[in-house]
Amino acid sequence: MKNIIQLSLFAIVVLLSSCNQGEKIHTFTDVEKEQTLMLGDSISKIAQATLMQNVSKAMKEGGPVHAVEFCNLQAMPLTDSISKAHHVTIQRVTDKNRNPNNSLKTDGERSAWGKFKETFSPQPVEPIHFVQEEDQTLVYYKPIAIGMPTCLKCHGAPEQDIDGATAQKINEKYPNDKATNYQLGDLRGMWKITFAAVDGK
């Protein structure tokens, strides 16, 4: 699977890099968009599985307090390492961020978030994900839901789902936290995977 993803990524990078001769504005083909959609889905699944495995391990080792500590120190380095391995930029963004780095910042992010807010269902009939053109590149977006009761130990209702020690740790690490009061199945955020820009930026 890794080899297939790497070869496909190389093919897309070559296609994108060859499309900007003479500063021409490139119009992406349906084939390029479909390839990017499939690759984005594969990479997002790898990123999701990696994060969940590590967060679950942290929960088992020291409960939700330890999990908050783990996410504060290791969540972004983990996604960065997956980004480097696949030659893309992976982010998790949301309107109710815990880490300030995960807030909605660009018009593209706000547009994608608006689409998910309108169409999201915890049990969709068809996969909800898409690619859109941003600054001469293709960007993949996929929703992230509160998928397990364990998630509520850090993202549920204070004093009901989140115990006092965990709330204290969250406040210590994230004094401007917005990421609580979720329920199971709620839309939590979205994966954003940015592929190599046409102009090589």
The pLDDT value given to residue 5: 54
The pLDDT value given to residue 8: 54
The tokens describing 21, both together, are 């001769």
User: Given 3-state DSSP classes, what are the helix, strand and coil percentages for the chain, each rounded to the nearest 5?
Assistant: 55, 15, 30
> Which position has the higher pLDDT, 5 or 177?
177
CA distances from 118 to 161, 178, 187 (A): 27, 21, 11
144: region left, alpha or beta (phi > 0 left; psi from -120 to 50 alpha): beta
The pLDDT value given to residue 201: 39
pLDDT of 10 > 60? The answer is no
Amino acid at 9: L
Distance CA 171, CA 165 (A): 10
Helix intervals (H) in 87-196: 107-119, 152-155, 164-173
Model confidence pLDDT, tens digit, residues 11-60: 555 455 545 444 566 788 999 999 999 999 999 999 999 999 999 999 99
The pLDDT value given to residue 198: 55
pTM of the model: 0.84
Amino acid at 178: K
Residue partners of 66: CB distance under 8 A and separation at least 6: 58, 59
Residue partners of 126: CB distance under 8 A and separation at least 6: none
The pLDDT value given to residue 196: 81
Model confidence pLDDT, tens digit, residues 91-102: 999 999 999 999
The tokens describing 54, both together, are 């590590």
Q: What's the CA angle centered on 19, arms 15 and 25, to 5 degrees?
A: 140
Region 125-138: mean pLDDT is: 89
